[in-house]
Amino acid sequence: MRATRDGRPLAALLLDLDDTILDDAAGADEAWALAADGLVARQPGLAQAEVVVELERARSWFWEDPERHRRGRLDLVAARYEIVGQALERLGRPDAELAKETSQAYTTLRDRNQRFLPGAKEAVERLRGLVPAMALVTNGASQPQRAKVERFGLAPHFDHIQVEGEFGLGKPEPEVYEHVLASLGVRAEDCLMVGDNFGADVLGAQAAGIHAVWMNVRGKAKPPGRASKPHWTVQSLEELIARLV
């Protein structure tokens, strides 16, 4: 059997990695709660609830800015150091050493919690047999993204793996998608891009002429102010397969 999009044979499937194949939120809340415990233990007198609030505030502040986001996803430990440092500052307890230790401990914990989204391992294997070519297109630094590819044995399923930190540009830049198409030797209109990030994956692919599927794993509302519509919205790769065959 061969995959089709609305009756047309698909030449290639482009997949995002985090929150499309792997669960990128696994253990995040738990890890931040443990980070808060650690900060309270080392800075007596701080109220746990207050620490949690300031950590949340610092995370939102850090990730909402596109340039900080780009810088942060290319160096997650540095991003987390800045987040914890900012929270400690607002709590009136600036402590660079503690911020450094906490960001490293948090990162270790998050890495340990990485896992496939339910059914995603089998779905990727199945897709490999349904589509002539597959590309993995992921933002982030080379080291952590390659470590995930290795840990979860993903490389054999893809003809092309493109990591922001190696290519030099990240989604949604059109050059990212153009390079993927050229590497696979396929035309944009014969491809499908699947990813959870509405801006980077859906709008980015569409800007390059590629039909895009929004992977809405957690059933979120579509980001406001986005006129563009994804070709399909799915909640899992299994649901995508059902559409393709």
Which CB atom, from 15 or from 51, has the smaller least distance to Mg ion? Answer: 15
* Residue closer to Mg ion (CB basis): 117 or 131: 117
DSSP-derived secondary structure for 42-92: HSTT--HHHHHHHHHHHHHHHHHSHHHHHHHHT-HHHHHHHHHHHHHHHTT
Cis peptide, bond prior to residue 144, ω within 30 of zero: no
Smaller CB distance to Mg ion: residue 19 or 82?
Answer: 19
| Cα gap 70→50, rounded to integer Å | 28
Q: How far is the CB of 180 from Mg ion (least distance, A)?
A: 15
Tokens for 237, please give them: 């790769």
Residue 43 C-beta: closest distance to Mg ion, Å: 34
Closest residue to bound Mg ion by CB:
18
Q: Which is nearer to Mg ion, 118 or 185 (CB)?
A: 118
Please report how close the Cβ of residue 233 comes to Mg ion at its closest, in angstroms.
15
**How would you classify the pairing of strands 211-215 and 160-163?**
unpaired
CB of 41 to Mg ion, least distance (A): 33
Compare residues 16 and 23 and give the one whose CB is closer to Mg ion: 16
Helical (H) or strand (E) element with 195: strand 191-195
- For 135, the token pair is 């590309």
State both tokens at 198: 């509405």
Q: How far is the CB of 19 from Mg ion (least distance, A)?
A: 4
Give the residue carrying structure tokens 């980015």.
204
| E-only strand ranges, the chain | 4-5, 8-9, 12-15, 22-23, 115-116, 133-138, 160-163, 191-195, 211-215, 232-234
Joined together, the tokens standing for residue 92 give 């009136």
| Beta carbon of residue 236, minimum distance to Mg ion (angstroms, whole number) | 14
Q: For Mg ion, which is the closer residue by CB, 7 or 218?
A: 218
Contact positions vs Mg ion (CB under 5 A): 16, 18-19, 196-197
